[in-house]
Each structure stands twice: as C-alpha cells, then as structure tokens.
Amino acid sequence: MTRFIVLAVLIWSVAAQAFADPPTAELIEVTKIWDRAPHSAFSDLICWRDRFVCAFRDGRGHVSADGKIRVLTSADADAWQAAAVIELAGHDLRDASLSITPDDRLMLIGGAAPRPKDGDRAPTGTFVAFSEDGTNWMPPKIIVPPGRWLWRVTWREGKVYGVSYATPEGRPFTALLASDDGTHFRALVPQWLGEGYPTEAVLRFGDDGVIVCLQRRDGAAPDNSAYIGISKPPYSEWQWHDLKIHLGGPNLIRIPSGRWIAAGRIHRDDGPKTELAWLDVEQKSLQPILQLPSGGDTSYPGLVWHDGMLWVSYYSSHEGKACIYLAKVQIE
C-alpha cells in the first residue's frame, strides 16, 4: 500500500509538472477572409450548427461615423459567404461579440456610438441583435445607454454575464452585469474593479461555475497592465492579480486539455502585434506563445476550438489597410 501511495504521488507530481509547462503553438496557416472595405476590424468568431460565423466592423476608418457589423459564414473555414450587414441609423457600430443563446439563436452585441462625423469622440453604449439562421437578424436594440459599454458576454445555465466600463469619459470602474434574456441586464456588482483605468474584459467559466476574467487596463505604464480576476458563485467576492503585461482587445478560451489560451494585442519593439498567450490560472501569469502575422492597426481576435485545432479571427493592417484574417493553430 505504501509503495502504491508513493508511486501515485510521483505520477501526480510528474503530470502536474508537465501540465505547468507552457504549451507550444504552431501556426498551420493564415488566410485573409475579408478585404472589401476601407477598414475592417474588431472581429469575433464562433462555431454554430456546424458552421463558422465571423462578425466584424466595416467602416471608412478606425473611428468613423459609418460603422456597421458584417457577418460571414463558412462550412469549412475556407470558402466564406457574406451573410448579413447590421446597421443602426445615426450610430457607429463596433466590436462584434457572438454567443449562442439557450434556445440556440445567435446573439450579437457590440458598441453603439452616436458619432456625428468621422473622428469625433462619442460616448459608446451597447446594442444587441438576435438571429435564428445567421442571415436574418432582428433590428439592433440599444441595451446599455451611451457612456457605459458592455463589451463581451458569456452564457452559462440560462444566464448571460458581461462587464461594462466607462467610455470615453467618466468614472473609471467596471461593473459585473447579468441577464436572463440577453436584453435586460442588472448589476451583480455595480462598482467592480477600479484599479487604473479598466476597459475591455472577457469572462469565461471553468470548473464548478468558477469565472475567470481577463481584464484590459489603459493609461500609462505600469498601471496599464492586464488583470486576471477569479470568483466562485455568487460572484460577489473576487481575487485580482496583476499579469504585468498590457493586452488590448483581449479574448480567452479554455481548450479540451484544460489549458487557458488568451489572445490580444501586445506592443513589441517593432510595434503592436496580435499574439496568443498561455494564461496560467494557478500561477496567475500570462506567457506569450505565438505571434500571428500582424502589425500596425491590429488585434481583437475571436477564438474557436474545432476539430482539434484553435481557429483565430483577427484584424491587421500589416499588408496595407486593415483586413480580417483567419489563423489555424495547433496547440500541444
């Protein structure tokens, strides 16, 4: 019995050490899937009913009054079809976020800024639209008034959760929101994180309902490094840890091995890049593992695990204007 216990401990120790080692990521291929607008950016990606769905913003520029959300679909991530365009009169629509509702509809949220002309600063709110087929969408509806931006959402057990932040001015704190229908949100924690200037955040669920939050912060270094937040139900108490690296347009996925893969924009000596990173939830650390072909105006990746591969949508201007790309990545 003693030998068995010692052997079991040794096996567990070796397995734990192997799991703690950073994964390797190999870029299998990357393709440009949309380049028909002057500026295309702020993507998200999802796999729904055996099809890939990619949504992103088209406009005249990074900040312009004509922003609209374009939706592409594909059965094989190779041939893409333009499925829909979502517009709202008088608003610049931005930063698409896709999710699947409990009744198997597509849910799209994004920023809605009443921007009179290109380049104007405008308070951003949040819109929502739903679709039963990916092509026909309900008219977009404002669910968070301009001045607070609910940036991404995540569903679990019939409820949807997200984080709102002040934009472009206001008190720099986030709020943890929840909803039963994706339209009417309530604050679970009205004033959540106020360290530095927290902005974009993504929530994902781990085991036993634990939420992991990857939180961007803006401003001057060192107060602009990303945070990781962890909480158990009912999500009123949170543990926050500084990841010591700035991450723009953050996204996060837990792959079948149990590892957490993050993605976003990291500034390097030769400029901004879109990169994948390993988020070690136990050690509270973020370690880059793969730089995607990118540069200039870039980031805002969508993440999907499908057929044993990680698929990443993102935008970049490294080949000229900002276009939408899709990367296929092997994670070991």
Residue 209 per-residue DSSP state: G
Q: What angle do CA 38, 40, 42 make, to 5 degrees?
A: 155
Q: What's the pLDDT tens digit per position in 223-251?
A: 999 999 999 999 999 999 999 999 999 99
Distances from the Cα of 55 to the Cα of 51, 162, 203, 301, angstroms: 13, 19, 19, 11
pLDDT of residue 19: 53
pTM beyond 0.85: yes
Residue with the bigger pLDDT between 13 and 100: it is: 100
Which pLDDT does position 35 carry in this prediction?
98
Percent of the chain with pLDDT over 90: 92
If residue 9 lies in a helix (H) or strand (E), which one and from where to where?
Answer: helix 2-20
As a whole number of angstroms, the distance between CA 9 and CA 15 comes to 10
Task: Give 67-84 pLDDT, tens digit per residue.
Answer: 999 999 999 999 999 999
Is pLDDT at 136 greater than 90 in this prediction?
Answer: yes
What is the C-alpha separation between 143 and 83, in angstroms, rounded?
24
Q: How confident is residue 171, by pLDDT bands cut at 50, 70 and 90?
A: confident
* Domain locations along the chain: 23-331
Task: Kindly tell me the number of DSSP H helices and DSSP E strands found in the chain.
Answer: 1, 24
pLDDT above 80: residue 3:
no
Question: Which residue reads 């669920």 in tokens?
Answer: 205
Q: What is the DSSP string of 25-74?
A: EEEEEEEEEE--SSEEEEEEEEEETTEEEEEEEEESSSS-TT-EEEEEEE
Mean pLDDT rounded to a whole number for the chain: 94
Residue 16 has pLDDT above 90, yes or no: no
In the numeric block, which tokens belong to residue 106?
């597509």
- Answer whether CATH 2.120.10.10 is correct for domain 23-331: yes
pLDDT digits (tens, 9 = 90+) for 268-325: 999 999 999 999 999 999 999 999 999 999 999 999 999 999 999 999 999 999 999 9
Is the pLDDT at 7 greater than 60, yes or no? Answer: no
Residue 4 φ then ψ, to 5°: -65, -40
